[in-house]
């Protein structure tokens, strides 16, 4: 196959031409990765309301393109390109992908993937008339508009910096998450619709795609037991691949809990979170989903985590909890193992959230007893 060059046009904007076709590069698989892109996509849609927006991403983003069809018109699956860990290198598939992309004759391409070491060349090869990217100091500066990658910013703000440079207006920074009647019905079925148990419920999500982001199961269990003692039902959530860690929490709990692990789609999980008094999770996609539906939440970070980049932006509704800083004179260094917050720190954050009068979409968080500290 010969790679066509007709699509590799001048990156200068066409004079007076409306932006009709937009490519947005975000080839990341995670739930949180995609939800963090919603504000930037909203900015693109606001600037170009009639444009056809193609998300250049992975097959795992199909649910996102369907759920956010007001922002994304098409998922253009990135195939064959080397350098991305989620993509199997395949020269023939890469040539076919670029030919297909160039045939669309994009007016604008935005690199919303990251620092651009791999994805800036990918964005340029889409052949758009104009492109806006971000790059690291010392790295290849792509043609068109390219800003310095804002390494110290929150992930949402990193992406908005690119849409700012593209001339898009700043939107609201919350992702939001559309829910359907089917989502809500699925959540009610898990909770036992029509049952006699009317206690508010709390969701514990002890899994994470990265094993190093998982707060110990026995600590989740201690929090679960305290929530039950305080008058809540506890619902354990997780993916099918997280059955072991969810099962460990269930076995370590003295009180019983609803096991919803592996029984939720993204929409059902969102609806379940939306009705919860509070969600407790690790630094993982579930934390971003709770933020998207405005459910009060506590996000637990290890000492080597990065809450500045990944914690929900609303600190009043979403508490971030990490370990205490090391004592003066304590051993440190790159070989030091990650540490975790104690149970009491998470319970303190829960108590503050459950006592808060701030309005939310969650159900009432009344309780019959205090959330006492356990260490």
Sheet of strand 108-111, all strands in order from the earlier edge strand to the far edge: 74-77, 52-57, 21-25, 108-111, 130-135, 145-148
Determine which helix (DSSP H) or strand (DSSP E) holds 347, and give its type and residue range.
helix 343-355
Checking DSSP bridges between strand 201-205 and strand 145-148, what pairing results, if any?
unpaired
CATH number assigned to the domain with residue range 21-165, chosen from the 4 options 3.40.50.2000, 3.30.479.10, 3.40.190.290, 1.10.510.10? 3.40.50.2000
Q: Do domains 21-165 and 181-326+334-355 have the same CATH topology?
A: yes
Question: Where are the chain's structural domains?
Answer: 21-165, 181-326+334-355
- Does the domain made of 181-326+334-355 have the CATH classification 3.40.50.2000? yes
Tokens of 111: 């690199």
pTM across the whole model: 0.88
Cα gap 253→114, rounded to integer Å = 40
Cα gap 7→169, rounded to integer Å = 28
Tokens of 336: 């030091």
Q: For the chain, how long is the longest CA-to-CA vector?
A: 71
Are residues 125 and 98 in contact, defined by beta-carbon separation less than 8 angstroms? Answer: yes
Tens-level pLDDT at each residue, the chain (375 residues) = 334 444 344 444 444 468 999 999 999 999 999 999 999 999 999 999 999 999 999 999 999 999 999 999 999 999 999 999 999 999 999 999 999 999 999 999 999 999 999 999 999 999 999 999 999 999 988 999 999 999 999 999 999 999 999 999 999 998 899 999 999 999 999 998 556 688 999 999 999 988 999 999 999 999 999 999 999 999 999 999 999 999 999 999 999 999 999 999 999 999 999 999 999 999 999 999 999 999 999 999 999 999 999 999 999 999 999 997 665 555 555 556 789 999 999 999 999 999 976 544 443 333 344 454 443
């Amino acid at each position: 196959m010969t790679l066509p060059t007709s699509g590799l046009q001048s990156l200068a904007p066409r004079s007076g031409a409306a932006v009709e076709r937009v490519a947005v590069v975000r080839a990341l698989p995670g739930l949180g990765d995609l939800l963090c892109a919603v504000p930037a996509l909203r900015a693109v849609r606001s600037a170009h309301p009639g444009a056809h927006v193609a998300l250049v991403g992975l097959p795992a983003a199909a649910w996102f393109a369907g759920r956010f069809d007001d922002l994304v018109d098409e998922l253009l699956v990135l195939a064959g390109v080397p350098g991305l860990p989620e993509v199997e290198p395949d020269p023939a598939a890469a040539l076919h992908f670029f030919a297909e992309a160039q045939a669309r004759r994009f007016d604008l391409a935005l690199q919303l993937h990251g620092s651009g070491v791999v994805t800036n060349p990918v964005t340029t090869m889409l052949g758009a008339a104009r492109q806006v990217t971000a790059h690291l100091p010392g790295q290849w500066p792509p043609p068109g508009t390219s800003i310095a990658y804002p390494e110290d910013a929150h992930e949402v703000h990193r992406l908005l910096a690119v849409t700012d440079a593209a001339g898009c207006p700043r939107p609201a920074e919350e992702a939001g998450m559309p829910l359907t009647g089917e989502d809500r019905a699925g959540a009610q079925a898990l909770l036992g619709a029509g049952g006699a148990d009317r206690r508010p419920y709390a969701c514990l999500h002890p899994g994470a795609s990265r094993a190093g982001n998982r707060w110990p199961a026995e600590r989740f269990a201690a929090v679960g037991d305290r929530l039950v003692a305080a008058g809540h039902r506890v619902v354990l959530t997780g993916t099918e691949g997280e059955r072991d860690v969810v099962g460990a929490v269930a076995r370590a709990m003295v009180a019983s809990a609803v096991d919803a692990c592996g029984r939720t789609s993204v929409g059902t999980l969102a609806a379940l979170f939306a009705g919860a008094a509070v969600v407790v999770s690790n630094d993982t996609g579930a934390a971003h989903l709770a933020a998207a539906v405005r459910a009060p939440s506590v996000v637990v970070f290890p000492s080597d985590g990065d809450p500045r980049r990944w914690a929900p932006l609303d600190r009043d509704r979403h508490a971030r909890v990490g370990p205490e800083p090391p004592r003066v004179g304590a051993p440190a260094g790159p070989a030091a193992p990650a540490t975790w917050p104690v149970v009491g720190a998470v319970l303190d954050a829960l108590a503050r959230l459950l006592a808060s009068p701030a309005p939310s979409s969650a159900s009432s968080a009344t309780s019959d007893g205090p959330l006492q500290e356990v260490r």
